[in-house]
Structure 1
Amino acid sequence: MMPTSRTAVASPACAARPRRRGDAPGRAGTARFPTRCGHGRRGRGAAPAPRSASAHAAGPGAAIGCLEAEPWGAVAPAPALHVAAPAPGDALAVPAEQRVREVVLKQAALAAAAPRRTARIEPEPVPGALKAAFGRCGEVCNEYAKTFYLATQLMTPERRRAIWAIYVWCRRTDELVDGPNASHISALALDRWEARLEDIFAGRPYDMLDAALSDTVASFPVDIQPFRDMIEGMRMDLSKSRYRTFDELYLYCYYVAGTVGLMSVPVMGVSPDSRAATETVYKGALALGLANQLTNILRDVGEDARRGRIYLPQDELEMAGLSEADIFNGRVTDEWRSFMRGQITRARSFFRQAEEGATELNQESRWPVWASLLLYRQILDEIEANDYDNFTKRAYVPKAKKLMALPKAYLRSLMAPSSLTQSQRHYSSLT
């Protein structure tokens, strides 16, 4: 639902850092049901580093990538270490879809039990300091996700501010493994960042950007688990560069992208006219994050390979008669084309599921989601247009096509909840 591509703000050193993949609206134009936020792609080159002073970068008083902010009120004590990650064996003991479904059901139940929010003609006033915090979040969103920021202008002020706050937290988390301190980030730093997250949900923000998120989670029925799971995705990027099965890859895609949708739907809200089950809406949000991340992976096969990483199911590669050598050598063969057709078909199936959830959102929240869905799905078309050469050619959606998608997304956002017939959904998935 929202983009979470790399951010570099406030620091001259970061301003000089070249953009990396996904910084354009395509990392998810990226709205994760929002996009990459936003998440977005994670840093692929980060590896565990020797513990040093920089390993504490996620603790109070230290910069989080380039998104720095002044302490909020009294400086909180350094968070105690909190290790919530399951052991590797335990993580895969339960099928990934079942584990993720439990998180979806929990968040859906929390949202369903909360009172329905209605738009206020006169929004409640926001205290000056908090207003500045939300304003800073909006500035970051506007600078690095312009299309998404534009679409949020249709949302009510309180929903708009809250979405900005979630976006910025996802960007800061992403910066841990792809920011200027990424080479020094260790599991310890991520443990400290997770402890800081606990403080945010407990109403003890460290800085102004934390304060914006703390106010958001206190105002909307947002569960902490998707936030914890995104941090777990960062841990995976520190140590894992191969995925044996799609079940493993599914879990990773949920951690780094599907989580953003679960964070965002409670803020975006379900339409009062929706007849769909709350679970359906959250499944749609999850599906868009998964679809965006799978699209990222297919687009960036060559770039990841040059970093020594392969984000494709190894068992499916073997069944297609392909090896790691084929990936590293960038061979576009008939076997590779057949394999890619299957992967693209899977990604499109998640996009179709995402449509079912997007339609059920509050009308003012639908445009950024539909824009993300339509813009990002076009990347798959471009991979096909490049004859499946994602080793040396980057699937790039021309600006003209992106601009043409925006009014179409807006028209889709005007459709009443549950009004799409099955045939209309099928048609829309092909356009």
Structure 2
Amino acid sequence: MSPDEYCQQKTVQSGSSFYYSFLFLPPERRRAITALYAFCREVDDTVDECTDESIARIKLAWWRTEVSTTYKATPTHPVMLALQPHLAVYNLKEEHLQAIIDGMEMDLNQTRYLDYKAMQNYCWHVASVVGILSASIFGVTDPKTLEYAEKLGLAFQLTNIIRDVGEDARKGRIYLPVNELQQFGVTAADLLNARHSDKFEALMAFQVARAQTVYDEAFALLPKQDRRSQRPGLMMAAIYRTLLSEIENDHFHVLTQRISLTPVRKLWLAWKTYVRN
């Protein structure tokens, strides 16, 4: 199996919505974004699938070294072998790849966030920086496009947090800001014990409204001349905003189930967005 095939398999197996937006890219950019996504999956799995925290930290340290090696010599992991040819072509910076690893390590260091600012910092490391790297691969002619991509990454991660509230709580992690839980009268125990209530629905309605606002703010930053090249991000936004609507229509029953869209619906939304842009 070649490095590119390894990355393709990793991406398909993840079942991520991102896969559908990759399908519309030219081959070279598709290989680059698939390798980047596979890298994100690898380092994320290092934390999520490792039950021993000390081993997870050792693995993340190995990935830090592997990333550094990729910019200086020949790496050993198939994901980095696949990503290496694209680093200079798309100006993918080492500091951004290292920042993603920092974000994964944050999951080992803390399981609560005091306020939205603290949660935003986490989101920047695990998502906004991925948005910047992805936009660079898609094609950028105006620096403002990277600001759009950074904000869009935040919107995506806010959506993930909303969708995965129950799943994350079962892992002992609560990303919703502590002060906002207090504001709506929802306790950490409510989330950990999957207690759905009117207060929880009000809290989640607030989270969804904020995420939708962040999407709007991101779109307002996207320069017209880069809109076509950035269509993959717009496709993902169409899928994720539809997911938010589904969660809202289901009265935010995310504590005991993971609400998702069917592959056919994701593909339809991606295609429709591609045609319109």
The answer, yes or no, to whether TM exceeds 0.5 is yes
Identity of aligned residues (%): 34
Residue 215 (structure 2) pairs with residue 351 (structure 1): yes
- The alpha-carbon distance between structure 1 residues 326 and 168, as it changes in their structure 2 partners (threshold 3 A), is closer
Q: Which residue of 2 aligns with 1:253?
A: 123
Q: Report if aligned partners of 2:17, 2:236 keep a CA contact under 8 Å in 1.
A: no
Q: Aligned match of 1:173 in 43, 46, 50?
A: 43
d(CA) in 2 for partners of 1:393 and 1:134? 34
- The alpha-carbon distance between structure 1 residues 376 and 316, as it changes in their structure 2 partners (threshold 3 A), is same
Q: Which residue of 2 aligns with 1:214?
A: 84
Structure 1 residue 199: deviation in Å? 0.8
The amino acid that maps onto 1:217 is L
Instruction: Specify which structure has the bigger relative contact order, considering alpha-carbon pairs within 8 angstroms and separated by 6 or more residues.
Output: 1
Residue 275 (structure 2) pairs with residue 405 (structure 1): no
For the residue of structure 1 that corresponds to 2:145, the secondary structure is helix
Q: Which residue of 1 aligns with 2:226?
A: 361
Residue 115 (structure 2) pairs with residue 239 (structure 1): no
Give the total of aligned pairs. Answer: 275
Q: Which residue of 2 aligns with 1:285?
A: 149
Q: Which residue of 2 aligns with 1:295?
A: 159
Q: Report if aligned partners of 1:201, 1:224 keep a CA contact under 8 Å in 2.
A: yes
d(CA) in 1 for partners of 2:35 and 2:264? 30
* 1:3-60 deviations in Å (ceiling 9; x for gaps): xxxxxxxxxxxxxxxxxxxxxxxxxxxxxxxxxxxxxxxxxxxxxxxxxxxxxxxxxx
* 1:295-318 deviations in Å (ceiling 9; x for gaps): 111122222223322111001111
Q: Aligned match of 1:375 in 229, 233, 239?
A: 239
For the residue of structure 2 that corresponds to 1:219, the secondary structure is coil
For the residue of structure 1 that corresponds to 2:81, the secondary structure is helix
Structure 1 residue 213: deviation in Å? 1.7
Residue 97 (structure 2) pairs with residue 227 (structure 1): yes
Q: Report if aligned partners of 2:17, 2:239 keep a CA contact under 8 Å in 1.
A: no
- What are structure 2's unaligned runs of at least 5 residues? none
d(CA) in 1 for partners of 2:17 and 2:118? 32
The amino acid that maps onto 2:258 is R
For the residue of structure 2 that corresponds to 1:162, the secondary structure is helix
d(CA) in 1 for partners of 2:170 and 2:51? 18
- Report the aligned-residue RMSD: 2.6
- The alpha-carbon distance between structure 1 residues 293 and 359, as it changes in their structure 2 partners (threshold 3 A), is farther
The amino acid that maps onto 1:226 is H
Q: Which residue of 2 aligns with 1:189?
A: 59
Structure 1 residue 250: deviation in Å? 0.7
Q: Which residue of 1 aligns with 2:175?
A: 311
d(CA) in 2 for partners of 1:243 and 1:337? 20
Q: Aligned match of 1:390 in 229, 254, 265?
A: 254
* 1:256-299 deviations in Å (ceiling 9; x for gaps): 1122111122221125xxxxx41x21122122221121111112
Structure 1 residue 362: deviation in Å? 6.5
Q: Report if aligned partners of 1:359, 1:366 keep a CA contact under 8 Å in 2.
A: no
d(CA) in 2 for partners of 1:207 and 1:384? 41
For the residue of structure 2 that corresponds to 1:233, the secondary structure is helix
Residue 66 (structure 2) pairs with residue 202 (structure 1): no
Structure 1 residue 248: deviation in Å? 1.1
* 1:101-135 deviations in Å (ceiling 9; x for gaps): xxxxxxxxxxxxxxxxxxxxxxxxxxxxxxx4334
d(CA) in 2 for partners of 1:359 and 1:231? 32
Larger helix percent = 2
- What are structure 1's unaligned runs of at least 5 residues? 1-68, 70-131, 272-276, 414-431
The amino acid that maps onto 2:79 is L
For the residue of structure 2 that corresponds to 1:379, the secondary structure is helix
Q: Which residue of 2 aligns with 1:332?
A: 196
Q: Report if aligned partners of 2:135, 2:230 keep a CA contact under 8 Å in 1.
A: no
